[in-house]
């Protein structure tokens, strides 16, 4: 039997818009609603420490579990509903239950969701 595996954040759910809007609200940033940061670290306007602080706020916020779908759930379910669907997400493991709730509330049908190994990426700033 075939199985389908899909990434969640930035593929199924609009992580970027949710995170950016939370950072905008938290730090009172004067940016447009469609602003796209140069990097995840908002290096064009915030320090790394501020982004970490904003991330901690984001994962505890209501916005974290209310991310909007990028893919239409009804269309997705119609295309892949014949196969077991498994979602993979790179969030802290203690946030997985809230991400599952987000996916369910958005209307996605799936068999399971798993953390794909939350990594504290120390990329270029």
8 Å CB contact between 70 and 6: no
Q: In what order do the strands lie in the sheet with 112-115?
A: 4-7, 85-89, 112-115
Looking at residue 8, what is its pLDDT?
A: 96
58-114, pLDDT tens digit by residue? 999 999 999 999 999 999 999 999 999 999 999 988 999 999 999 999 999 999 999
Q: What is the rounded average pLDDT of the residues 44-51?
A: 91
Looking at residue 120, what is its pLDDT?
A: 57
First to last CA, the chain: 44
Distance, CA of 33 to CA of 27 (rounded, Å): 14
Looking at residue 85, what is its pLDDT?
A: 96
Q: What is the rounded average pLDDT of the residues 40-63?
A: 92
Where residue 125 falls among pLDDT bands split at 50, 70, 90? very low
Looking at residue 124, what is its pLDDT?
A: 43
Distance, CA of 59 to CA of 19 (rounded, Å): 9
């Amino acid at each position: 039997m075939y199985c389908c595996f899909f990434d969640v954040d930035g593929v199924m759910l609009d992580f970027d818009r949710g995170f950016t809007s939370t950072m905008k609200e938290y730090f009172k940033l004067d940016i447009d609603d469609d602003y796209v940061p140069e990097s995840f670290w908002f290096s064009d306007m915030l320090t790394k420490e501020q982004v970490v602080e904003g991330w901690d706020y984001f994962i505890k916020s209501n916005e974290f579990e209310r991310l909007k779908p990028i893919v239409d759930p009804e269309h997705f379910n119609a295309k892949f509903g014949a196969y077991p669907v498994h979602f993979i997400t790179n969030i802290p493991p203690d946030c997985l239950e809230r991400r599952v709730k987000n996916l369910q509330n958005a209307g996605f049908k799936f068999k399971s969701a798993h953390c794909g190994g939350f990594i504290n990426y120390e990329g270029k700033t």
